[in-house]
Structure 1
Amino acid sequence: MEQPPGFMDPILPTHVCRLNKALYGLKEAPRAWFHRLSTFLVSNGFVCSRADTSLFVFKQDTWIMYLLVYVDDLILTGNQDQVIRTFITKLHNEFAIKDLGDINYFLGLEVTHTTDGLFLSQFKYAQDILHRAGLLDAKPAPTPLASNTTFFTTGDPYKDPTDYRSLVGALQYLTITRPDISYAVNQVSQFLQAPTLAHYQCVRRILRYVKGTVAFGLTFSRPSSNSLLGYSDADWARCLETRRSTYCYSIFFGGNLVSWSAKKQPTVSHSSCESEYRAMANTAAELIWITHLLRELHALPPDCPTLLCDNRSAIFLTRNPVSHKRSKHIELDYHIIRELVLSVKLHTKFVSTKLQVVDIFTKSLSRPQFEFFRGLLRLGPPPSRLRGDINQR
């Protein structure tokens, strides 16, 4: 370390400033801050979650508090207002923090309180993306992609790859509350290295769809049951160049969408059964992680999770411990789903393709299908009945 240019001490040129406290700028600072904060939380009865190390849980008798940490931003909730206020006072005495009251904005996510839950959206963030792309006055599109859209690596190169990467990267963050664009963003994200003009036109199509649904978000309401339900699907050999499949899942807890994903499988599957089986294995791993998290939150449902798939052959493969020639080449780690089914830690059931909600993550759909599945995800405009005065929020 050296004294910065322009601020060197002529009398003590070899001396440097002693750093007492820093949160940004040094690689060690975030780790030191987290150690300091976690030590304080543990000393006050919190337990660090093993499923998510940024989550701390406090439970004493019937009192429960959850505290989520993101660098120096904290979210605190619980079931006893007095206990929460007492702990906030302890936080004030230990750290220089500011209590912002009920959450309404966090890391670009806008939180609106409804009569029986929350509504999450990224309205301002979506507006900023449209402004950057110059599409605030563009004509809205009914779906993120046309139903006959195909992607190839060949074509006329786009003149500004940096602009393409910037827009796609911004759209990736928008998928936090907009799972309806997950498939489209996943597809255009595969050509960041050398985008073509056709790829850029697809990005503009996604942005035009966002323009027409800029206020859309996810609705979370008080669940009527604590069931954990997962949907798994794969579109066999979707990529026409690599012949790899696109797989996806969506997981609902009490009817609320809590986790989803749309990715391209790393290997080529020999059949639709194999691609579906691999997708089910990945979904099962996510379901098990969520069960671990719910157990630490003291909210684990009594019944084991259920995994729905629209491929009967893949479901049969999860229940059949005998390996035959059609499945012996599948890696052993994918067969974990068999162990979960045999140990009655997971149920697998068939679901009709008409109700396979994760089809929205595997392919470009027609407008009626797209809007139907979007509704099943509980994704739409803000609820008409909100709690409190929105203008004040």
Structure 2
Amino acid sequence: MIIRVNSPVTLNLTQSYYQSDHDSTQIIDSPSHFDHTSLRGFRTLKDIYENTKELLLAEDEPKNYKEASSDQKWIKAMKAELDSINRNNTWELTTLPRGHKAQLKMDFEEVFTPVVRMEAIRLLLAIAATNKWEVHHLDVKFAFLHGDLKEEVYVTQPEGFIKRQDNGKVYRLIKALYGLRQAPRAWNIKLDNTLKSLDFKKCALEQAIYTKTSKDSTLLIGVYVDDLIITGTPKKEIDKFKAQMEEKFKMSDLGLLAYYLGIEVTQTNGDISIKQSAYASKILKEAGMLDCNETLIPMDLGTRLTKINEGTMVNSTKYRSLIGCLRYLLHTRPDLSYSVGLLSRFMQEPREQHMKAIRQVLRYVKGTKDYGITYKHNEGNKIHGFSDSSYGVNTQEGKGTTGIIFYYGESPISWSTQKQATVALSSCESEFIAATAAATQALWLKRLLSKLTHSKEEKVTIMVDNKSAIALMKNPVFHGRSKHIDTKYHFIRECVEKEDIQVEFVSGEYQKADILTKALPKIKFLTMRQLIGLKDLRQSDCD
């Protein structure tokens, strides 16, 4: 089946008839050839396709209609998909207008769909835990078939399903169809209008979060394409929302959130834990390291990786795939942030030394698959952060590495490791640059928290372990020590002066961002891992 809207680019949609919407919507952070599709918690395949369980579990899927047509099971699956398209009034049979061709043309505008950021999801979970709210999970079935199209799109009748009496006619699409680049955006517009009609307001700071607040109730919704997580109080308002959505779309009510975008979620007595054990096992299986020996740290102290032209080249596709998979694992694993961030710098021409370092990271993952984060209901509701940098460690350019981690209460909600864009002339300057990056994130987090909880914005404290850098941040006057620093990094001075943030000193022993900036000795790494709030959730479950 071919679609067109103006130019000679074609799109074959044969496979879309037996793929679910989750198969056709890949997680952006992940390599395209590795399956990161969520296990979907308590959802069964029967919820999606009544009679196609064997097909969806099959590893050898047909590549085209000719291969699929030899198996009655696939024929049945394609018929089921076409039936859902027809029931949804997705298209109408018509004669192709003169001057049009049934091919794809690029006359559409936006094709992306906003999705909630992972740090916003973690903040939602932390807020829910603080208030002892339940978090529920909804999934829209055949989501992309609900979107309305603005463009004029014609598609040929699918191969094997051409109506004899209407041979030569084409379908004019009324709603979006799988395979259309407009489909995600069309669906998002449809969902946005629906939520607004139910009196939800879109968060100005996070386009995929919606809020609804009254005197007696609060509801928060996070949207990731067709997956909706909802939390708030009272419970009857959540049930009411579910009923309203089921009136408008065919929904799967998955109950309490248990599995979301590859993240396993456990809700116990108000506390909410997140980990990626199953996803970590998938990575190890993909790498052929399920039976590898474990190691206590992801990178040895003193490891120096460089971009050299010597040494044996390794398969760059495999290297990039592993890096992509590990980067997705960072959503619940700040302890891997530095090692994975460093290894990400060598994807263009990876050598054996780089692949060896990845294998050590994977050995560490093997021994820590069940590590994750728990958001507790009794840890407070303030945001504070830690900022640190390494001065010229493990880089050929002499640039430092910035490490930032923010907490809601006592559990981490946002973290990052980045190579600094500018060469610093001292550790003071390097810390100054890192703190400026932390200040921008602090402003976004405190404003987002204010919008979600309808509370007053509060000053965020950032902990820094360099007294000279703190003195530089608190001094609003330019002087010889800072005149050569890029103007944009002086933003933090303005934040301190306006009292949006405050900077305080913390000794290196308690600098939680230290683990994000460099490889640490074994004992210190294990101590810092515990200090940042990461723990073995398998042991917690047993307790």
TM-score by length of 1: 0.94
User: Does 1:268 pair with 2:423?
Assistant: yes
* 1:375 and 2:530 are equivalent in the alignment: yes
Post-superposition shift, 1:239?
3.5
Determine the structure 2 residue equivalent to 1:98.
252
Partner of residue 117, structure 1: 271
5 Å matches for 1:134-283?
134-154=288-308, 155-283=310-438
> Please, which of 280, 292, 311 is the counterpart of residue 447 of structure 2?
292
Gaps of 5+ in 1: 388-393
Deviation at residue 301 of structure 1 after TM alignment: 6.7
Query: Shift of residue 238 of structure 1?
Result: 1.7
**After alignment, is 195-204 or 80-89 more displaced?**
80-89
What SS does the corresponding residue of 1:99 show, helix, strand or coil? strand
**1:179, CA displacement in angstroms?**
0.9
Q: Per-residue deviation at 1:6?
A: 4.3
Q: Give, in whole Å, the separation in 2 of the partners of 1:33 and 1:183.
A: 37
Quote the RMSD (CA, aligned, Å).
2.0
Give the Cα–Cα distance (whole angstroms) in 1 for the partners of residues 412 and 375 of structure 2.
8
The answer to whether structure 1 residue 359 and structure 2 residue 514 are counterparts is: yes
- Inter-partner Cα distance in structure 2 for 1:324 and 1:4: 72
Q: Hey, what's the Cα distance between the residues in 2 that align with 1:223 and 1:302?
A: 21
Give 1:78 deviation, angstroms.
0.9
Greater mean alpha carbon deviation, residues 266-275 or residues 134-143: 266-275
Asked if the contact 2:176–2:186 (Cα under 8 Å) also holds between the matched residues in 1, the reply is no
CA deviation profile, 1:294-327 (whole Å, cap 9, x unmatched): 0111164774110110111111111111111221
Structure 2 stretches lacking a partner, 5+ long: 5-101, 103-155
Matched length: 388
Query: 2:242 matched to which residue of 1?
Result: 88
> Judging changes above 3 Å, is the alpha-carbon distance between structure 1 residues 350 and 299 closer, same or farther for their aligned structure 2 residues?
farther
* Letter in structure 1 aligned against 2:223: V
Which residue of the partner structure matches residue 129 of structure 1? 283
CA–CA distance in structure 2, aligned partners of residues 15 and 329 of structure 1:
69
Percentage of pairs with the same residue: 37
Asked if 2 retains the 8 angstrom alpha-carbon contact of 1:228 and 1:301, the reply is: no
1:28 & 1:145 partners in 2: Cα distance? Answer: 43
State how far apart, in whole Å, the 1-side matches of 2:258 and 2:211 are: 22
Residues 112 and 386, structure 1, Cα contact 8 Å, conserved in 2: no
Question: What's the secondary structure of 1:252's corresponding residue?
Answer: strand
Deviation at residue 357 of structure 1 after TM alignment: 1.1
1:158 Cα deviation (Å)?
Answer: 2.8
Inter-partner Cα distance in structure 1 for 2:279 and 2:315: 23
Q: Residue type of the partner of 1:131? A: K
- The one-letter amino acid of 1:378's match is G
Residue 46 of structure 1 corresponds to which residue in structure 2?
A: 200
* Contact kept in structure 2, 1:119 and 1:217, CA below 8 Å: yes
TM-score normalized by the length of structure 2: 0.69
Cα deviations across residues 338-393 of structure 1 (Å, max 9, x unaligned)?
Answer: 11111122111000011111110111111111111111121111165559xxxxxx
Asked if structure 1 preserves the Cα contact closer than 8 Å seen for 2:450 and 2:457, the reply is no
1:344 aligns with 2:499: yes
Q: Is the 1:122–1:177 Cα contact (8 Å) retained in structure 2?
A: yes
Q: Deviations over 1:189-247 (max 9, x none)?
A: 10000000000000000000001111111111114322211100111112441111100
1:157 deviates by 3.1
Q: Structure 1 24/350 Cα, relative in aligned 2: closer, same or farther at 3 Å?
A: farther
Match of 1:391 in 2: none
The Cα of 1:71 is off from its aligned counterpart by 0.7
